[in-house]
Amino acid sequence: MSSSRLSRRGFLRQTVATGAVLAGGTGVARHRVFASVLERPIFATIGLRNQGWAITSKSFKFADFAALADVDAKVLGEHVEKVAAAQKKPNAFKDYRRILDRADIDAVMIATPDHWHAKIAIEAMQAGKDVYCEKPLTLTVDEGKQIEQAVEATGRVFQVGTMQRTESDQRFLRAIALIRDGRIGTVTKITCGIGGMTGSPSIPEASVPEGLDWDFWLGPAPEVPYRALPELRTGYGGGVPLYSNAHYSFRNWHEYSGGKLTDWGAHHVDIACWALGEQANTPQVITPVEYELPVAYKDGEPLVHDRYNAATKFTISCTMPNGVELLIKSEGDNGILFEGTDGRFFVNRGKLTGAPVEELDQKPLPEGAVEAVYGGPVSENHTANFIDAMRSRQQPISDVWSHNRMLEICHLANISMRLGRPLTWNGAAREIVDDPQANAFLSRESRRGYEIPG
């Protein structure tokens, strides 16, 4: 593990030992929380569609779910019954704050649209809950800073849902172990293929679906009308409008997400940065080599409001320390190509290929090499790692700090395309150099009544 992770873990152990974590509520509640984690923790999930259900159902083996929350009454009701079929029937709430008020819940799993993550996560920590939050963790760079401050202030355990660090048959762990063992020499270039998005036709205003609290769904985002076309999406995320400004399509709007850069980019750029190591994973210059935006922009803001606005195609070049080039592309194979002075290999969720991989039969990795990348025995899955961390009071494998540094690259890539120019990044100050207009995009103003707590 990196020295910074160890030092932060040490800080958190100290805060627990000295009682800083007592921000969690009454003494009775705190006692119950720690006692239950040693047995079988009590969870609640906030945001249930698609990935929310995926992380909930994957966790049945390890935790009991006492409550669920969603702003869509239909989605909430369906998933209450699904949990009831596997465990005891949970309580159901439209307002997630009802969950945070409960002393019997040890941790929350957050799978809302991205624009809600920071507010709910910070409020949950302040209420004494440990947090598992889906990626991407934030909508802006400043939200990442606020979450870090809350973790340090409360001493809570926080797992980000970048599951490639644990799952996919350890392919990504083995890939990093290959690099650390020098199997491709010195890394010179990393290409992350993350896929592109399609634009949309004009999406008209429509009646809000029955049971959906649209104002609450928007939350911190600007107040706008609900939009949708009647054609339904099929496959993963199916059963909702194919084109809308909600449901599965929120990823296509900068008001709620960051397009492919924060969707798949949050997975593959994470692995690339992990491989480079903490001293070499901060970008210096982010250049939009080529890109396509689906609507016209002026001063970084979309001029059309009835169509998707996140980039559809792109090649972003990031100059990293030690002369390494990190490319993020919408075209090509989905996965990561590592190139070095002595070879190259490719990894994604289905394969790990290349000459250095083929040579493993004759020259296997040193014993414990994968465990060294992980920082100990590899957990069964992401939830198991989270619960292990809850028991040890140490930060898990997908910690807030490493995730935010990686996600800053994705956020900066989006800003560079919105403004149409390269950006120079000061990683120590966490700001864009000599560009006040670009720096304005590092934060956002929350809608009144939905501010992120300090």
Same-domain pairing of 220 and 156 = no
Same-domain pairing of 210 and 101 = no
Asked if 217 contacts 246 with a C-beta cutoff of 8 angstroms, the reply is: yes
Task: Give the pairing type, strands 91-93 and 64-69.
Answer: parallel
* Residue 197 within a domain: yes
Task: Report CA-CA distances (Å) from 118 to 37, 68, 443.
Answer: 24, 18, 12
Q: Flag whether the pTM goes above 0.75.
A: yes
Q: Supply the range of the domain harboring residue 140.
A: 3-165
Query: Any idea what the CATH number is for the domain that residue 418 is in?
Result: 3.30.360.10
* Residue 95 within a domain: yes
Beta bridge partners of 244: 228
Same-domain pairing of 155 and 177 = no
Each residue's pLDDT tens digit, 38-60: 689 999 999 999 999 999 999 99
**Nearest Cα to 128, choosing from 155, 148, 147, 149?**
155
Same-domain pairing of 127 and 208 = no
* Residue 386 within a domain: no
**CA 109/CA 62 separation, integer angstroms:** 13
Same-domain pairing of 152 and 204 = no
Same-domain pairing of 13 and 71 = yes
* Residue 385 within a domain: no
Query: Any idea what the CATH number is for the domain that residue 146 is in?
Result: 3.40.50.720
- The mean pLDDT value of the chain amounts to 92
- Final residue belonging to a domain, choices 165, 186, 221: 165
Work out the pLDDT band at 82, boundaries 50, 70, 90: very high
Sheet strands (E) in 207-304: 285-292, 297-298, 301-302
Same-domain pairing of 155 and 216 = no
Looking at residue 241, the DSSP 8-state letter turns out to be B
Q: How remote is the C-alpha of 375 from its chain's centroid?
A: 21
Same-domain pairing of 158 and 207 = no
What's the domain count of the chain? 2
**CA 348/CA 267 separation, integer angstroms:** 10
Work out the pLDDT band at 35, boundaries 50, 70, 90: low
Q: What is the pLDDT of residue 39?
A: 84
* Residue 394 within a domain: no
Q: To the nearest whole percent, how much of the chain has pLDDT over 90? A: 88
Average pLDDT of span 263-279: 96
* Residue 134 within a domain: yes
Each residue's pLDDT tens digit, 166-213: 887 899 999 999 999 999 999 999 999 999 999 999 999 999 999 999
| Lowest mean pLDDT, pick from 12-26, 334-348, 395-409, 422-436 | 12-26
Half-sphere exposure of 375 (CA within 13 A, CB side): 19
* Residue 136 within a domain: yes
Same-domain pairing of 253 and 347 = yes
Same-domain pairing of 271 and 353 = yes
Q: What is the pLDDT of residue 37?
A: 64
Same-domain pairing of 28 and 40 = yes
Same-domain pairing of 226 and 280 = yes
**Nearest Cα to 405, choosing from 220, 227, 272, 223?**
272
Q: What is the pLDDT of residue 30?
A: 39
- Final residue belonging to a domain, choices 131, 165, 199: 165
Each residue's pLDDT tens digit, 7-25: 344 444 444 433 343 333 3
- Final residue belonging to a domain, choices 165, 191, 215: 165
**CA 95/CA 93 separation, integer angstroms:** 5
**CA 113/CA 360 separation, integer angstroms:** 41
